Amino acid sequence: MFVLEQSFKVSYQYQVYFTEHLFDAENALLAQVFRSLVEPGYVARALFVVDEGVWTAHPVLGEQISRYFDTLKDLVVLAPEIIRVPGGEAVKNDRLQVERIVDAVNEYGIDRHSYLVAIGGGAVLDMAGYAAAISHRGVRHIRIPTTVLSQNDSGIGVKNSVNYKGKKNFLGTFVPPVAVINDSAFLQTLEDRDWRSGISEAVKVALIKDIAFFEWLDNQKDALANRAAEPMAHLIIKCADLHLQHIRGGDPFEFGSARPLDFGHWAAHKLEYLTNFELRHGEAVAIGIALDTVYSFLKGFISETDVLRVLNLFTVLGFGLSHEKLWEDDSRHLKAGLAEFREHLGGRLTITLLEALGKGIEVHEMDENLIEKAANYLKTYETSLRLSPSV
C-alpha cells in the first residue's frame, strides 16, 4: 500500500454592494464592478436573467440595462436576449428553467470568463446560480437580489439550488458569486408580504447571535411595519453583515454538521411544503422561530417574558404565528418534519434553540411532547390575539 496526500486551500473573495437605482446612467457602480472583475485583454460577455415579477414592476428595466451596457462595449458585451423567468418557489420546481439558462449560456458563448447576472428574489437567484455553477464547471455569477430576504440573507451567501421530486434544494452546489449588488429601489415595489417576509431572517440572526440587534429591531418594529426605508436599509446591512461573518467564521461549504443559522428552519421547511408554498419562506420561518422559542421556554432555557417579547415583535411586524398544520392530529406533521430533518442531517440531529435572547444553543434531541405543547401554545396565543385585538 502506498499513499499520496493531497491538500490545498481555495480562496474566495467577493463584495456585497449597497446602492440605489443601479442602472441609472449616472450610477457608476456596475461599470466599476465589471472594470474590477474583467481581466486585461478580455472582452467579457454578460447574460441577464430577470425575475418576471421584477420585470413587470419595473417596465423600463430592460431598456435601462441595454442603455447602460452600450457605454461598456470595450469591457463587456450584453447577450442579445434578456431571459425572464417566473418568480417564487415555482421556478425551482421546474427543471426546464435551468435548462433554458444553460442553453442560453451555450448559445450566447458565456464562458468561464463571462458573467451570468441574475436579478430577482431568492428563488430566482437560487435557480440561476445553480445554472451558472454547473455550466462550464462554473461561469461567473453576479447576484442582484430584489427582496428583503434575498438582500439580507439568501442572495448574499454561497449556496444555490433547485428542488427535485418534491424535495426542497435537493440539487445544488456551494459556489460563491463574484459580486452581489443590493439595490434598495427594488424594495419599494415589493408587496407587503415580501417586505415583511425578509425581516424574519433578521430576527433569527439577532436572536441567536446579537442581543443589541434584537433590541434595535424591537425599537424599530412599528417603523419597519410601516415600511420606513431608513431602518430597513440598516436592517439589511446589519443582517447581511452577520450572515457574511457567519459564513467566513465557520464552515462555508458546510462539510461538518453544525448549521446554527438553521434556527427555526426545521419546522419552516415542513410548513412550506404542507402549504404547497402558499406560506412564503419568511412567513414559515417566523412560525418556526416562534415554535422553537416557545420550546426553549418550555424546556426551561428562557423566561415566558422573553417568549412574549419575541411573539409580540413578530405580531407587530404583521406575521401570523400559527397554522393549523402545527397542531392538527397531535402535531403529527411536525413530528414527521423533525424525523425528515434528522435524516437530512445524516442521522444525527442538531437543532439550535435559545438559551437567552441573543444566544443560541445546539441540542441533539427534541421532546415530541414538548413540540406538541409548543404548537398548542402558539394556537392559544393567536386565539387570544383575535379575541383581544387591542393587544
One-letter amino acid of 11: S
CB 377, CB 310: distance < 8 Å: no
User: Which among 4-12, 115-123, 263-271, 294-302 is the span making contact with a second copy, rule CB under 8 A?
Assistant: 4-12
How, if at all, do strands 351-356 and 359-363 pair?
antiparallel
The Cα–Cα gap between 88 and 102 comes to 20
All three cell numbers of 80, joined, read 442579445
User: Which among 50-58, 141-149, 172-180, 260-268 is the span making contact with a second copy, rule CB under 8 A?
Assistant: 172-180
**Residue placing its CB nearer to a second copy in the complex, 106 or 303:** 106
CB 92, CB 98: distance < 8 Å: no
One-letter amino acid of 272: E
Q: Give me the helix-helix angle, 265-274 and 281-298, nearest 10°.
A: 130
Q: In a 3-state reduction of DSSP, which class is residue 269? A: helix
Contact call for residue 9 and a second copy (CB under 8 A): yes
Contacts (CB under 8 A) with a second copy, residues 140-159: 156, 159
Contact call for residue 35 and a second copy (CB under 8 A): no
DSSP summary character for residue 199: H
**Smallest distance from the beta carbon of 22 to a second copy, in angstroms?**
10
**Smallest distance from the beta carbon of 277 to a second copy, in angstroms?**
20
- Quick note: the x/- pattern for a second copy over 173-212, rule CB under 8 A, is xxxx------------------------------------
Q: What are phi and psi of 190, to 5 degrees?
A: -70, 145
Residue from 41, 59, 300, 389 touching a second copy (CB under 8 A): that is 41
| DSSP H/E element including 216 | helix 211-225
In 3D space, the residue among 250, 268, 246, 291 whose CA is nearest the CA of residue 153 turns out to be 246
Contact call for residue 345 and a second copy (CB under 8 A): yes
**Residue placing its CB nearer to a second copy in the complex, 6 or 388:** 6
The Cα–Cα gap between 314 and 296 comes to 17
- Quick note: the x/- pattern for a second copy over 44-63, rule CB under 8 A, is x-------------------
How, if at all, do strands 44-51 and 83-85 pair?
parallel
Number of residues that bind a second copy (CB under 8 A): 69
- 354 forms beta bridges with 360
User: Which among 3-11, 189-197, 222-230, 353-361 is the span making contact with a second copy, rule CB under 8 A?
Assistant: 3-11
Contacts (CB under 8 A) with a second copy, residues 66-125: 102-103, 106, 109, 111-114
All three cell numbers of 296, joined, read 426553549
Contact call for residue 12 and a second copy (CB under 8 A): yes
Contact call for residue 17 and a second copy (CB under 8 A): yes
All three cell numbers of 18, joined, read 449597497
User: Which among 56-64, 165-173, 268-276, 354-362 is the span making contact with a second copy, rule CB under 8 A?
Assistant: 165-173
Contact call for residue 276 and a second copy (CB under 8 A): no
The Cα–Cα gap between 326 and 82 comes to 42
Residues in the site for a second copy, rule: CB under 8 A?
1-19, 29, 39, 41-44, 102-103, 106, 109, 111-114, 133-138, 156, 159, 161, 164-165, 167, 169-176, 237, 240-241, 244, 247-248, 252-254, 257, 343-348
